[in-house]
Structure 1
Amino acid sequence: MTEYDLPDRVVADVVTLALAEDLGAAGDVTTLATVDAASVARAALAARQDGVVAGLPVAERVFAAVGQGRVVFEYGSADGARVSAGEVLATVSGPVRDLLTAERTALNLLGHLSGVATLTRRWVDAIAGTGAHVRDTRKTMPGLRALEKYAVRCGGGVNHRMSLSDAALVKDNHVAAAGGVVAAFRLVRAAHPDLALEIEVDTVEQARDVIAAGADLVLLDNMSPALMREVVAFTRGRAKLEASGRLSLDNAREVAETGVDYLAVGALTHSAPVLDIGLDLGE
């Protein structure tokens, strides 16, 4: 585990599946054919770009699973750290066959998670000092949600619900099905009185109605900063407010300065570019 609470069971399951995809029925046939079984080496996992690291323990687990005790993994950095291009994040030493067999699986996971952390940090930096927090969504890759949300935490963001049963989120289709925003709020609250409940609104009037009904977390969908400021003004701290839709790094600070508590950013997980990280033998 790390200070960001990496889910160990999920790591084990993801690594097992990822290695099964890579190794197939016969293993790394190229490496087995070209590398002598007695050959040993040391290699560096190094950043090719500036960014924020996430997933080093996941990479370690990959090398451990392939090496079965033959590979030594040494940390040169830590998850959540800002790193520069050329910086060594970790070193691995052991049989060359093991290092090359584990390489791509480890780099795929480490690069993806570091990319999520890096993009999250850009958003966090963009709104620094406003009091608002950057929050992720459920727009994650199936099977990788827990790790991607971990990477968001490494980047300084905070998490929304993990699953549909962790908390209730009433969206526009629920409102339509229930016959109105207040009706939907009351139906969910009655069914789950102790569950965290957030309700989406797209007008100031809807926001007034649900806050008057007792909502304590309201998602302001596709509202302009001017309308958000209006909602913040009459809410007066009675409910937490989350901005969603039409958000970008260019307008993030303007939105945060309206006084909302959260910015919901699906792009943290669904559009994060991979952080380029490589493995170099002989380092």
Structure 2
Amino acid sequence: MPIDAARALAAGPRTRTLSWDAGDVQLYHLGIGAGRPATDPGEPRCTLESRPYVLPGFATVAGGGPPGVIRALSVPGVDVDPARVLHGGQRLRLHRPVPVRGGATAASRVVAVYDKGEAAVLVLRTDVADADGPLWTDEARVFVRGEGGWGGERGPALRPAPPAGEPERVVERRVREDQALLYRLCGDLNPLHADPAFARRAGFERPVLHGLCTYGMTLEAVVDTLLGGDVTRVRAYDARFAGVVYPGETLRMRLWPGPSGVRVAVGAVERDDAPVLTGTVVRDG
């Protein structure tokens, strides 16, 4: 079996050193479409180095290098075709606001392997800390098609019930045609997002947008729309990637604020609101 769950879970954490500065933060902000429209007086905070503003989603790319999905595929006991791999979801917990420049140590390991029948799901957890203590913890859920069915633990349900009632806010964000090509400069060089031939081999008509780009765009919309632009209010952010986004499409984000945080559902407008992000919660404090 290409995935040896016991071996993957027994593997010790892999550590790496991260460093970033204001330029890396600005590139991430541009990669998720921030800075538009140029006439919005609030947007320069995302693109000017004179303003120490960091969207928390930057934590998923800080320090560059391979994203969690790719790191999971290098774990002992995991030997699969990258064309059968999808990013299934992302969870981020902030211990402190992400600084505009810094250095840290990241330790990553597989903490769960689930058997979903038609697929396997790997959960890669990364704990990041600097000299002052923990900064953030993130978990990437990696969906590997065709690798389930060995009789392992099925794990938690990945299809939570949608929020009830009408959303309090609806926000739309247009995805640039070159958004994936720009976002990949943050360190995610998976050919699925740039190479038409690879995308077809993976079962898609053309390259798709990074799930973490949609994740970042959605968080920015929540911060700007319901949190008064205050990134320090974000304590945690969890989302399931329910479907792909093609560059050039429009994202429709439905927002339901409540006592447990802001619940969000995201769909692709041009495909009859086909689900893109579900089970999405931004917790603030």
Q: TM-score range by the shorter chain?
A: under 0.3
- Normalising by structure 2, we get a TM-score of 0.25
Query: Which is richer in strand?
Result: 2
Higher Rg: 1
